[in-house]
Amino acid sequence: MTDTTEQDRVLIFDTTLRDGEQSPGATMSHAEKLEIAGLLDEMGVDIIEAGFPVASEGDFRAVKEIAERSQDSVICGLARANPGDIDRCWEAVRHAARPRIHTFIGTSPLHRAIPNLTQDEMAERIHETVSHARNLCDNVQWSPMDATRTEWDYLKRVVEIAIKAGATTINIPDTVGYTAPVESADLIRRLIAEVPGADEIVFATHCHNDLGMATANALAAVAGGARQIECTINGLGERAGNTALEEVVMALKVRGDIMPWTTRVDSTKIMNISRKVATVSGFPVQYNKAIVGKNAFAHESGIHQDGMLKNAETFEIMRPEDVGLAATSLVLGKHSGRAALRAKLEELGYKLAENQLGDVFVRFKELADRKKEVYDEDIIALMRAGEDAANDHLVVQSLRVVCGTGAPAEAELAMTVGGETRQATATGDGPVDATFKAVREIWPNDARLELYQVHAVTEGTDAQATVSVRLEEEGNIATGQSADTDTVLASAKAYVNALNRLIVRRGRLGEDRKEVSYKDVS
């Protein structure tokens, strides 16, 4: 089995597909979830929490198919503390080579008040539901949600109950990012020392980043005796996010002198999956994000550049190659051929079939005709723009904008809606406003624009602009992204990309999505 209590190994439990997807606007399609799960499995993640099977038929299908396709990782599903959730979870993960059921209940006073359970009533429910899960599966994880705000005596009591009921992993969540490193380490250390049977199971840590300490808290918990870290790619997650997988993996790798624990994650695959998650979630990685940000290995200060030229270790504690970045960057242009493009794509982590390469090559040539030089970031943006467009219900075909002083901007837009071409003309307060109004004429909607953000992919007046758009409609939030040398066209595509995600999220094209609450534990 993958699970182990070896003192020098830390298990990596990735919950990008479950907790990460809860980040507002980060809904992923079925195909995207399968692809990310495959990449996580390939890079050596020990446990993949594939979803919350009872949440919807779509979630159930995704978890089930990920379980059936899994090669090496444990495949885990989440279930609330009731038999129906647990049965549904087991039905989804049972065909995995290594299945796991993860069940939880909120144990802090605030969370106990939601189902209106006394301490004794909740303790009984924990015993019953963990026992039920263990009767189905020999790999059971249990979590006392909001553990860091649960009374110490009660936390000890329920952890002991869960262990006696058959839990093989006890996860201690810092659900609201409240704790600090010294507390995180001490909590795990005391549980191991004081709870009977604690030395026979694996303790895990699940930290949120509300105070910016998720990575520090996770590593502190390991120092206290935890041997599983729950994390997400790019730190994706609710509110300020979760512990970032890339940060804990590289911290353990770089600082093995003071943190003598290892993981089996292949760090050279980090950049590829980081880009993929950023693309499918619609959440761009901030430039100064540790490990995977655009500036993580960039040096502009004269002193830093001079030091780097003399010895890279002067200002770099890890090599770009360690996380999957190429040591050198080959700049492409309009005279570059298919072989050069294929080599660049493989260098960036994209493996394409011949027909796929042909399609990308056409789009690359179109871009190269508009730009003198095509950089890595341009290629990545090109790949993002083309992914899954064939499956979108709404597709931008053409856009013509007239704007200037003294008159409203006018946008003439052509789109396909379910394969049918439609056109509209609209005026607005600027080219982007006119364009978005034209989209709404073609596809009427009540979505509210929560975010509109533009940044250049590379330098120069011919740089591609990456546009991010976040929409909210009836409580559903979706984020869309697109890139183009034409900022207004990129805006239209990003807006339509967000609308396509709302369509999937709300089930407007027939997907059955039944929203449930984690707090509904009755």
Residue 206 assigned to a binding site? yes
Query: How far apart, in whole angstroms, are the C-alpha atoms of residue 433 and residue 401?
Result: 11
Residue 19 assigned to a binding site? yes
Tokens of 4: 């182990």
DSSP secondary structure string for all residues of 257-318: TTS--B----GGGHHHHHHHHHHHH--PPPTT-TTTSTTTT---SHHHHHHHHH-GGGT-SS
Residue 503 and residue 393 in contact, taking contact as beta carbons nearer than 8 Å: yes
Determine how β-strand 420-428 pairs with β-strand 448-456.
unpaired
Query: How far apart, in whole angstroms, are the C-alpha atoms of residue 128 and residue 499?
Result: 43
Element (H, E) at 421: strand 420-428
> What's the burial of 271, exposed, middle or buried (CB within 10 Å: 0-12/13-18/19+)?
buried
Residue 230 and residue 243 in contact, taking contact as beta carbons nearer than 8 Å: yes
DSSP character at residue 150: S
Tokens of 456: 């250049």
Residue 208 assigned to a binding site? yes
Tokens of 309: 């030229």
From first CA to last CA, the distance across the chain in angstroms is 34
Tokens of 27: 């809904």
DSSP secondary structure string for all residues of 94-113: TTSSSEEEEEEEE-SHHHHT
Query: How far apart, in whole angstroms, are the C-alpha atoms of residue 112 and residue 115?
Result: 6
Residue 295 assigned to a binding site? no
Matching residue, tokens 């990920």 = 66
Residues 6 or more apart whose CB falls under 8 angstroms from that of 124 comprise none
Residues flagged as binding site: 19, 206, 208, 242
Residues flagged as binding site for Mn(2+): 19, 206, 208, 242
